């Protein structure tokens, strides 16, 4: 039987499912506390943030999407959301992101990224109005020197084809 010292070095650095869950919970925590700069720092510089318009949509560019941001556009979205004159966010919504059913998926390519799926329920409250969004999420996570980072986030809202009445929160 090989000793533990003979184990490959990479195996000791692989994140556990618990590490991944804690990462997703931290992401939700930052969003719910409007700590958007810290949330944005969780993304890699080549990251994408995608909310498809259609069920089972496979291409973000070949048809319309609710949101399809690269890192630069996501940065603009975060800065706009943080601006005091952001009318769509005035008054600031209170949110509760509930992340459940976290599972690792098999990788579909040769990258070393982790594919993680989860369910998301987002409750948004503004004075006199509460909305509930539900979606299926897929994160692609990359291990970096600074820990796990999001290289892609996809949120498939269960009602994506319905009237959404202006989304001003981040998922």
Residue 9, pLDDT score? 39
Catalogue all structural domains in the chain, each as residue range(s) with its CATH number: 16-157 (3.10.450.50)
* The pLDDT value given to residue 46: 97
Longest Cα separation, the chain? 65
- At 11, the pLDDT band (50, 70, 90 cuts) reads very low
Q: How far apart are CA 156 and CA 10, in angstroms?
A: 32
How far, in Å, are 58, 110, 112, 118, 163 from residue 169 at the CA level? Answer: 24, 33, 30, 19, 16
155 or 169: which leads in pLDDT: 155
The verdict on whether omega for the bond into residue 63 sits within 30 degrees of 0, i.e. cis, is: no
pLDDT tens digits, 28-84: 999 999 999 999 999 999 999 999 999 999 999 999 999 999 999 999 999 988 776
pLDDT score for 82: 78
| pLDDT averaged over every residue in the chain | 88
Q: 């996809």: which residue's tokens?
A: 154
**pLDDT tens digits, one per residue of 127-165:** 888 999 999 999 999 999 999 999 999 999 999 988 888
């Amino acid at each position: 039987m090989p000793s533990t010292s003979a184990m490959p070095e990479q195996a000791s650095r692989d994140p556990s499912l618990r590490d991944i869950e804690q990462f997703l919970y931290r992401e939700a925590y930052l969003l719910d506390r409007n700590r958007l700069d810290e949330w944005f720092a969780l993304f890699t510089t080549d990251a994408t943030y995608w909310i498809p318009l259609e069920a089972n949509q496979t291409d973000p560019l070949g048809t319309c999407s609710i949101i399809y941001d690269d890192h630069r556009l996501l940065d603009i979205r975060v800065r706009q959301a943080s601006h005091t004159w952001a009318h769509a966010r005035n008054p600031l919504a209170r949110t509760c992101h509930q992340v459940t059913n976290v599972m690792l998926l098999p990788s579909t390519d040769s990258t070393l990224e982790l594919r993680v799926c989860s369910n998301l329920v987002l409750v948004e409250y503004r004075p006199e109005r509460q909305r509930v969004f539900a979606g299926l999420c897929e994160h692609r996570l990359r291990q970096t020197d600074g820990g796990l980072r999001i290289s892609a986030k996809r949120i498939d809202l269960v009602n994506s084809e319905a009237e959404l009445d202006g989304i001003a929160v981040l998922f």
